[in-house]
A and B are shown apart, each in its own frame.
Chain A
Amino acid sequence: MILPALPALIPLITIIFLLMNFRRREWQPWIGLTGALLQLVLAVYLAVHIKSHGILVLHTGNWEAPFGITLVIDSFSSFMLILTGIIAVSISIYSIEAIDRQRQSFFFYPMVHGLLMGVNGAFVTGDIFNLYVWFEVMLMSSFVLITLGGEKKQLNGAIKYVTLNLVSSMLFLAGIGLLYGKTGTLNMADLALKMSLAENNILLNTSAVLFFVAFSIKSAIFPFFFWLPASYHTPPVAITALVAGLLTKVGVYAMIRFYTLFFVQDQLFWHPLFLWIGGFTMVVGVLTAASQYDMRKILSFHIISQIGYMIMGLGIFTVAGIAGAIFYMGHNIIAKTNTFLVAGLINRVKGSYDLKSIGGLYKTHPFLAILFIIPAFGLAGIPPLSGFFGKLVLISAGFSAGEYVISFVALAVGLFTLFSMVKIWNEAFWKAQPDDKLTEAPKDEKLPFSMVLPVVLLGLLTLTMGFAVKPILSFAMDAATQLLNPHIYIEAVLGNSINPEIQ
């Protein structure tokens, strides 16, 4: 039995091979790509395996469940693993040309795989302290990736990023400490069992709040999002796309996991709070995005706004709501990464991200316009693209749960998202190139194939998620059903030895 450990082991082995061939720079992208492909294949295999065999559990080191570290893969985890695999492959292809030689030969690929190892590890672990460790693995790699190259503005953004994320890790750790002190266990399933028996206790509430703040910072939720727009636009766009697509979603994953599995006592307090915070996150993100003129900043603010939708799904807390949040995460990871990659292509052609100094791309690069339209309108929620169905499921879940305010807010935010995307479209593609603002930066009229290919693939995926919405949504429904019936998870981890009265 090694299967559940493989999502974290494959990146580790890739890192070993990458470091072994450190001096052969031209091999690095290919080793990285092989590792990423293996990861994707494994993730798909795991999803198929879980479909037929149920939740996959591994007690590492042969230590029984509440004592050792347990790795658990359920439908939600495997869904996230597949998405990580997809992003890993696209970024690996994109960065062959997009990342300069110097960064490539200075640990770019090992760090990317370090990040992937952390992300995958966070998705498979069933132990809260282990989750913290994977978060750290992920953050350490992202610190290096964001500062890689050491440009002044990169370091400036990274200071905010590092500081706030360290604060969040500290709160996370404090929450773990309180929870461990109270319940004496770190295993998620065991915690769920013990906390369902515990009376409503002030220590548990304190740790629940600490976790909430920690994950809010990591997933850039209102009012803790300031680090994100300050740092995400500074590194090269391939790195931005990677961290923008994945990192905040790991925070959301942890939040959904924690607040469906064991922090389920105070629902009257938490769910309205999630809805409020989700609403504010959406609105603030989308409004601040509207005032920006740097493409990467617009897209960064939109990350925040779209995290709001996922939190809204968690706040609705019905199968449809959680399924909507999961589906939306899938849509968002793919489309968001893709819009960043397209912004990188535009920069490659025009030498700038500033909407004021570029234009006329539709005339010269109509193909690029189509590549942009798919993810951008997907994010805005235009049918038949994936974002439409994500929003549809979430908003209809909101209406049927009687949460009208948040549902209307979500609808309105969709319109504003469309406004921002149309703004990029108008400024970059439609209007004529402003003559006085031609940039000095080197321009490359012909786009390298390796940079266009991942954009096309991700665009096709956005289309597929729209046209083949049914199987993907039913997968998300399965995952949501599992999440809302925690006893399935608990039984899978702890075996059938638990007292049936507790369930």
Chain B
Amino acid sequence: MKSHILQIAAARLLPVTILLSLLVFYRGHNEPGGGFIGGLMASAGFIFYAMAFDTAEAEKKLRVSPLYLIVTGLSLAFLSTLPALFMGNPFFTGEWISIYLPFEAKLKLGTPMLFDLGVYFTVWGIMLTVIFNVMEE
């Protein structure tokens, strides 16, 4: 039995949770937050959606299989270790670049952030793979 109210709520909440998870992910850079918790939040949005509709519908909304989220995450985490090697530093050294945006804003990007993004995607993917499998049974 599907509740119509729940379905509407879930559909509206999904983009909000994703946005919030990205915010938490970015905040984790210097303050509490980060890839792990962000990944959990992103998956919470989709799990709520899957509860309101069903897992097939949620997977359709996701467009790709959660498995590819894991692949993306692991690849990003692995790639984040490589720039250090090209810079002649030991494996896993954090490398940073600053991008100057208009209005005197500055965006610092670095390999730790890329690694964290990898964590975000991996956690997101694994949570969805596990929960969808359990829900389908």
Contact = CB atoms under 8 A, between A and B. Distances in A.
B26 interface: no
Interface stretch (A16-24, A126-134, A273-281): A16-24
Q: Which of B75, B85, B89, B90 has the most CB of A within 10 A?
A: B90
Interface in B77-96: 78, 81, 84-85, 89-94
A20 to B, nearest CB: 5
Contact of B78 (A9, A58, A62): A9
Nearest to A20: B71
A15 B91 contact: no
Contact of A58 (B67, B68, B70, B90): B90
Given A13-B78, A16-B74, A61 B67 contact: no
Contacts of A22: 65, 67
Contacts of B91: 1-2, 5, 58, 60-61
A12 B74 contact: yes
Contacts of A16: 71, 74-75, 78
A63 B65 CA distance: 38
Interface residues of A, number: 16
Contact of A60 (B74, B75, B90): B90
Interface in A437-476: none
A15 B74 contact: yes
B90 A61 contact: yes
Interface residues on B, range: 10 to 19
A406 to B, nearest CB: 43
Given A19-B67, A22-B67, A62 B89 contact: yes
Given A9-B78, A13-B78, A19 B71 contact: yes
Nearest to B75: A16
A5 B90 CA distance: 10
B90 to A, nearest CB: 5
A58 B67 CA distance: 32
A19 B74 contact: yes
A12 B65 CA distance: 20
Interface in A20-61: 20, 22, 58-61
Q: Is the interface of A mostly helix, strand, loop or mixed?
A: helix
Contacts of A2: 85, 91
Instruction: Give the residue among A9, A20, A61 with the most B Cβ atoms within 10 A.
Output: A61
Contacts of A12: 74, 78
B74 A62 contact: no
A61 B94 contact: yes
B69 to A, nearest CB: 10
Contacts of A9: 78, 81
Nearest to B94: A61
A62 B90 contact: yes
A18 to B, nearest CB: 9
A19 B70 contact: yes
Interface in B91-123: 91-94
Nearest to B82: A2
**Residue among B68, B70, B78, B91 with the highest chain A CB neighbour number at 10 A:** B91
Contacts of A59: 90
A56 to B, nearest CB: 12
Contacts of B65: 22
A2 B78 CA distance: 12
A22 B67 CA distance: 8
Contacts of B75: 16
A5 B92 contact: yes
Interface in B12-58: none
A127 to B, nearest CB: 13
A158 B91 CA distance: 37
B88 to A, nearest CB: 9
Contacts of A61: 84, 90-94
B110 to A, nearest CB: 12
A1 B91 CA distance: 6
Contacts of B92: 5, 60-62
A20 B71 CA distance: 6
12 contacts: A2-B91, A16-B75, A19-B68, A19-B70, A19-B74, A22-B65, A58-B91, A59-B90, A60-B90, A61-B91, A62-B84, A62-B89
Given A1-B90, A58-B91, A61-B92, 16 more contacts: A2-B91, A9-B78, A9-B81, A15-B74, A16-B74, A16-B75, A16-B78, A19-B67, A19-B68, A20-B71, A22-B67, A60-B91, A61-B91, A62-B84, A62-B89, A62-B93
